[in-house]
Amino acid sequence: MAVRNFGQAIADGLILEMERDPDVYIVGEDVATFPAFGVTRACYERFGATRVRDTPVSETAIMGHAVGAAAAGLRPVAEIMFMDFLGIILDELANQAAKMHYMFGGTMKVPLVVRTVSGAGIGAAAQHSQSLEAWVTHTPGLKMIAPSTPADAKGLIAAAVRDDNPVVFMEHKLLYATEGEVPDGEYVLPIGKADIKRAGSDVTIVSWSSMVQKSLAAADLLAADGVAAEVLDLRTLVPLDKDAILESLGRTHRLVIVHEAVKTSGFGAEVAAIVADEGFDLLDAPIKRVTAPDTPVPFSPVLEAAFVPDAAKIRAAVLSLG
């Protein structure tokens, strides 16, 4: 294994898939000569402008192109630079890509990936800092991936490219610089399988994307309190690994759900509802959610820091369970 950062791991996965399958290509604003977050620079250096294609500044055009190309048999990886811009492509994504397989009686495949950047933490303000995964999970026909580590990012981007369904791949901007060991060569993880990032017996902390790192930091704090927290990284929200959630809860009997998205109708509410419906007898305490407040993401550094959940807030929620 080599040590890679999160962005490098995604690039590694994309390059390997592009080498394996000539139908895979990358398209989006600033993906070639001056990629905004640097992820696809290595892809451009390896494959050139034919398969890493800069587009006009039009998310609608990018997504419309990708849906048509996928329906015709190619495998586009379309970058939508910020997740906040999903609103611009919701018709192409939610009304076309998500529904074509169903509406054509299973004869049509739409094998495309939408890579998009989420999250606060760099002072990008309310229109470039949101976590909107619940928009995606509410649309049948779309898969939703949100990795938290470089190794998971490499394995899941490969799986997303190979999948015959439209997949939204969420990359938190603060994860790009995080490093970890990443398997060399071809590496593919199954979509829909959660991962225990830290074993514990007293409480299950369920999270995804950058909040997994905050949850692990909280688990360190809780260990000093004598609390053994299990951190379960969902990794993919659709399909959701319900069995992993219920199995963990069967060991710990307490549940805290952590996400950066705002609280109301966030995906954590779906996790809580599933547990209430299918695992209520496993609970020894109420379910707690640690989330951002129901407000636009602030620009002020002080307010932004207060907006994003942190280890202290997670620790407090766990300790409140008694």
- Write out pLDDT tens, residues 61-120: 999 999 999 999 999 999 999 999 999 999 999 999 999 999 999 999 999 999 999 999
C-alpha closest to that of 132 among 281, 4, 261, 279: 261
- Contact between residue 83 and residue 93 where contact means Cβ atoms under 8 Å apart: no
Q: How many domains does the chain have?
A: 2
**Is the pLDDT at 36 greater than 90, yes or no?**
no
What's the pLDDT at 49?
96
The predicted model scores a pTM of: 0.97
Among 182, 217, 246, the domain boundary falls at: 182
Phi/psi region, residue 163 (left: phi>0; alpha: psi -120 to 50; beta: rest), is: beta
- Write out pLDDT tens, residues 20-29: 999 999 999 9
Say if 190 falls within a structural domain: no
SS (H, E, C) 24-37: EEEEECCCCCCCCC
At 281, the pLDDT band (50, 70, 90 cuts) reads: very high
Q: H helices within 36-125, ranges in order? A: 41-47, 59-71, 90, 100-103
Residues 113, 72, 192: CA angle, nearest 5 degrees = 30
At 284, the pLDDT band (50, 70, 90 cuts) reads: very high
What range does the domain containing 22 cover? Answer: 2-182
Please check whether residues 225 and 306 belong to one and the same domain. yes
| One-letter identity of residue 309 | P
At 33, the pLDDT band (50, 70, 90 cuts) reads: confident
For the chain, give the percent of residues with pLDDT over 70.
100
Contacts 24+ apart (CB under 8 A), 275-280: 275/245, 275/246, 275/249, 278/242, 278/246, 279/245, 279/246, 279/249, 279/250
The CATH number of the domain where 240 resides is what? 3.40.50.920
The values of phi and psi at residue 297, to 5°, are -70, 125
**Is the pLDDT at 203 greater than 90, yes or no?**
yes
Pairing of strands 236-238, 143-145: antiparallel
Question: Which structure tokens are listed for 154?
Answer: 């490499």
- Write out pLDDT tens, residues 207-254: 999 999 999 999 999 999 999 999 999 999 999 999 999 999 999 999
Q: Which member of 65, 128, 253, 259 is catalytic?
A: 128
The CATH number of the domain where 118 resides is what? 3.40.50.970
What's the pLDDT at 241?
98
The H or E element spanning position 147 is none
Among 161, 182, 203, the domain boundary falls at: 182
The H or E element spanning position 130 is none
Mean pLDDT of the chain: 97
At 34, the pLDDT band (50, 70, 90 cuts) reads: confident
128 is catalytic: yes
